Structure 1
Amino acid sequence: MTDAALQRATEQVLAAKTRPLIQVVTFFDEPTFTATHLAFDPATRRGAIVDSVLNFDYASGRTATRGADEIIDYVKRESLKIDWLLETHAHADHLSAAPYLQQKLGGKLAIGREITTVQTVFGKLFNFGTEFARDGSQFDQLFGDGDTFAVGEIPVTTLHVPGHTPADVAFVIGDAAFIGDTLFMPDYGTARADFPGGDARGLYRSIRRLLSLPAETRLFLCHDYKAPGRDHFLWETTVGDERTKNVHVHDGVDEEAFVAMRTARDKTLDLPHLILPSVQVNVRGGRLPPAEDNGTRYLKLPLDLL
């Protein structure tokens, strides 16, 4: 059985050798260790923003737009036009700034089609009630495996890569793949798979699928935590480097060994500091909960569930 979506992405990467490459500028939010990527076509000056961050202070409950404003300033200074605000999944470690960026810059907000599965799980966990739609309608576009679109004149292929969550997707834009929370830098390894709906076996298969892309494919990661012995943050690697050097899933590591390692490692990990506020916001497309009758918005804190 052929993998038509992967074949299309592979052909796209190889064809990029004869056309302008997508340009990528990264904005790193150190408090959440998140890399937000601004990818744009240098010929048309049209672009996409991938995995944005809304500043949030848990102790005070205050939000801010410092990181998003930095992106906005860059877009305006460079005379770029934003067509897409892309989310690789519903993040559990930061709040998305996509609605704010959309208000300021325009563009369509998009995520993987399986966000509906995540909305169903967390809608029940947070007891959102029937007023919370679980059909992905908070987003302008839901992409499935193999769906295509463009950033300027540069083609994009969407790959469904579940495992970290059921809804993870990678966006292959020209010769560059924006892969969310599947892989980290080779010296750090791979994403966890113990969130509701996560699956270590599915993650392994998704990673091997990504690593079937040409070795020269540029990979842009959503996070970096600085591996032991490394004193600076990194968020760009290649398929070739991941296949030869990734400490968890380099060539030769089989599925059973990976699942055993990932399952054991995940049992030692604390939940992300911002998982409860983040998921409540991100399943709503990055929008804060509606205000209650006193005009104030509230985030819920479920007790003894996670």
Structure 2
Amino acid sequence: MNTFQLSPARQTGTPDVAGFFEPRTFSVQYVVSDPDTKQCVIIDPVLDYDEKSGATATHHADELLSYIREQGFEVQWILDTHPHADHFSAAQYLKEQTGAPTAIGGYVTGVQELWKGIYNWPEFPADGSQWDHLFRAGDELRIGNLQGRVMFSPGHTLASVTYVIGDAAFVHDTIFQPDFGTARADFPGGSAHQLWDSIQEILALPDDTRLFTGHDYMPGGREPQWESTVAEQKRANKHLANITEEQYVDLRNKRDSELPMPKLILHALQVNTRGGRLPEPEANGKRYLKIPLDALEGAAWE
């Protein structure tokens, strides 16, 4: 299985994009670098977790660190696009290893407030302070000589953002590869109408913009893929080509009503709303996750 691919810079002002596929959760992690200055950012890193044994590990995050060392990169930011529901974020671990600041969209506070109630965390600070920086729509960031900006892309979650760096856009769980379609919008705080609007904003980028997704589910058993262009998505995405907003919302809501929740959603959100921090050890030195029962009413069963 192909789990690594480099998408090289096309011209000055565009990044090299190294994609690392994590097959356990079908996630894609990115190291985005400026070829001129060797400065880079990490986007959506994965902390390994086995729900059967409760074991955690840093194999895939360490793979990123090895690549960064081999290339002689300096990490400027560790970025998450949203609080993930299907895997743990390795942002905090990578901050400890590199010293680079962590960041996410400032809209994460709405997700924190929502899940604070689900987990019954009355003392939890739902203020985004678990990250070093909170981005808002239109904010700019630099990676070496590369110019980046932040787009607010809600719908999949309340807090989702897209990072546009040069000619590359990291669209997380909005648009998948054309043969798979688009992301679900039925998580707490999700909205198919908002997702449609976010997708239209992404598709308004120049046609040759490289789009990098957060997951790939390999339909038909093909090899993992995670790069496309705006033009390809407009022409061939199975959920978007030749469809109206009303048709899309109907399609999305019907499909989502039949999907079971991600198996790690109740595990992952209590880590990812903390910026990738695991729960503090209790008196016996062990860490424990808290799983609320019957919290996601109406979710389809497998």
Fold conserved between structures, TM > 0.5: yes
Output one character per residue of 1:91-143: Cα deviation in whole Å (capped at 9) or x when no partner: 0000011111111122110100110000000011011221x210000001101
Q: Which amino acid in the other structure matches residue 240 of structure 1?
A: A
Cα pair distance change 1:265/1:66, threshold 3 Å: same
Equivalences for residues 256-267 of structure 1 within 5 A: 256-267=246-257
Question: What TM-score comes out, normalization by structure 1 length?
Answer: 0.92
Aligned residue in 2 for 1:9: none
Equivalences for residues 49-64 of structure 1 within 5 A: 49-64=42-57
Aligned residue in 2 for 1:190: 182
Q: Which amino acid in the other structure matches residue 277 of structure 1?
A: H
Aligned residue in 1 for 2:74: 81
Question: What TM-score comes out, normalization by structure 2 length?
Answer: 0.93
- Say whether residues 1:33 and 2:26 are aligned partners: yes
The alpha-carbon deviation at position 293 of structure 1 amounts to 2.2
Deviates more, 1:163-172 or 1:290-299: 290-299
Equivalences for residues 1-306 of structure 1 within 5 A: 19-130=12-123, 132-228=124-220, 230-250=221-241, 252-306=242-296
Mapped to 2, the partners of 1:213 and 1:144 lie a distance apart of 19
Provide the aligned C-alpha RMSD in A: 1.1
Mapped to 2, the partners of 1:302 and 1:149 lie a distance apart of 38
The alpha-carbon deviation at position 53 of structure 1 amounts to 0.4
Q: Which amino acid in the other structure matches residue 232 of structure 1?
A: E
Cα pair distance change 1:31/1:18, threshold 3 Å: closer
Output one character per residue of 1:245-275: Cα deviation in whole Å (capped at 9) or x when no partner: 000012x311100000000000110110111
The alpha-carbon deviation at position 17 of structure 1 amounts to 7.3
Number of residue-to-residue matches in the alignment: 288
The 3-state SS of whatever aligns with 1:269 is coil
Output one character per residue of 1:24-80: Cα deviation in whole Å (capped at 9) or x when no partner: 111110000000010000111000000000010101111000001111111111110
Gaps of 5+ in 2: 1-8, 297-302
Mapped to 1, the partners of 2:254 and 2:137 lie a distance apart of 30
Q: Which amino acid in the other structure matches residue 127 of structure 2?
A: D
The 3-state SS of whatever aligns with 1:179 is strand
Gaps of 5+ in 1: 1-15
Mapped to 1, the partners of 2:104 and 2:13 lie a distance apart of 26
Q: Which amino acid in the other structure matches residue 227 of structure 2?
A: E
Q: Which amino acid in the other structure matches residue 17 of structure 2?
A: V
Mapped to 2, the partners of 1:90 and 1:56 lie a distance apart of 16
The alpha-carbon deviation at position 18 of structure 1 amounts to 6.0
Mapped to 1, the partners of 2:29 and 2:293 lie a distance apart of 31
Mapped to 2, the partners of 1:21 and 1:256 lie a distance apart of 36
The alpha-carbon deviation at position 23 of structure 1 amounts to 0.3
**Maintained 8 Å contact 2:167/2:209:** yes
The 3-state SS of whatever aligns with 2:121 is coil
**Maintained 8 Å contact 1:20/1:42:** no
**Maintained 8 Å contact 1:45/1:81:** yes
Mapped to 2, the partners of 1:202 and 1:137 lie a distance apart of 26
